[in-house]
Amino acid sequence: MLSFNHVDFSFPNQPLFSDLNIDVAVGDFIFLIGRSGAGKTTLLQMIFMNLIPESGYVKFYDYASDKITPSMIPQLRRKLGVIFQDFKLLSDRNVYENVAFVLKVTNTPSKVIKRKVVHALTEVGLAHKQNNMLHELSGGEKQRIAIARAIINEPSLILADEPTGNLDPQTAEEILGILKKINSQGTSVIFATHNYELVKRHEAKIIKIDDGKAYKVTLKKRTVEKSS
């Protein structure tokens, strides 16, 4: 479904990835870990092709970074759901409008929007708050709304960039539980985090970014081996 193939990438005067190789299969739940500045967010941006490798390529289904055209990028992004640490919700709109916004910009019929929004909010347990404004919600509820927005288009892959970084431990567990449930329904998830304690409590594949390379971390022995 998704692969990084011999990817090199750097910012000005700052090398980041060198011969980076990663494979993600349909249905995977992957914790993406690494120290601050290791490149977790950059890696996620390369998946939705906001950033393009200097050499090598990223391939998501039939979309490859070395061949993609600007007109193809919106098509690719409709297959992805993205969740951010700081929610990136619209403070002047209520819960329903925040989730519906993704569909309105693609001129989806109102009846379809209503059905999909109610379904997405039900999935995250907040259908009863669709008329609330954001200032009436807790941080955990805001992140649930962000998840509902991410799944509204029924994406093949969810990219979660430190989605529990601003939340207390109990709420972080609840958010992870929602994403695990979505994954169990067939949606692949890449969950970037520096919360190693959260990772240790849950069984999933782990990829560690360190010194420009990707490593698989085995769950039972917690040993680290270079990703092929």
Please check whether residue 56 lies inside any domain of the structure. no
The predicted structure's pLDDT at residue 196: 87
The rounded distance, in Å, linking the Cα atoms of 41 and 32 is 10
User: Is 17 inside a domain boundary?
Assistant: no
* H or E segment and range at residue 159: strand 157-161
Please report whether residue 34 resides in a domain: no
Q: Is residue 171 part of a domain?
A: no
Range of the domain at 98: 90-154
What is the distance between the alpha carbons of residues 61 and 201, in angstroms, rounded to a whole number?
31
Task: Please check whether residue 27 is in contact with residue 188, taking contact to mean a CB–CB distance below 8 angstroms.
Answer: yes
The pLDDT of residue 221: 41
User: How does pLDDT run across 154-200, given as a tens digit for each residue?
Assistant: 999 999 999 999 899 999 999 999 999 999 999 999 999 988 889 98
Domain count across the chain? 1
CB 187 within 8 A of CB 181: no
In a domain, 37, yes or no: no
Average pLDDT, the chain: 93
Q: What is the pLDDT of residue 213?
A: 95
Phi, psi of 127 (to 5 degrees): -60, -30
- What lies within 8 Å, CB to CB, of 168 at 6+ separation is none
DSSP element (H, E) containing 219: none
In a domain, 10, yes or no: no
| pLDDT given for residue 222 in this prediction | 45
| Contact predicate 19/6, CB 8 Å | yes
Cα 96 to Cα 125: distance, rounded to the nearest angstrom = 13
Asked, for residue 101, whether it belongs to a domain, the answer is: yes
- The pLDDT assigned to 227 comes to 57
pLDDT lower than 50: segments of the chain: 221-224, 228
User: Considering the domain boundaries, does residue 137 fall inside one?
Assistant: yes
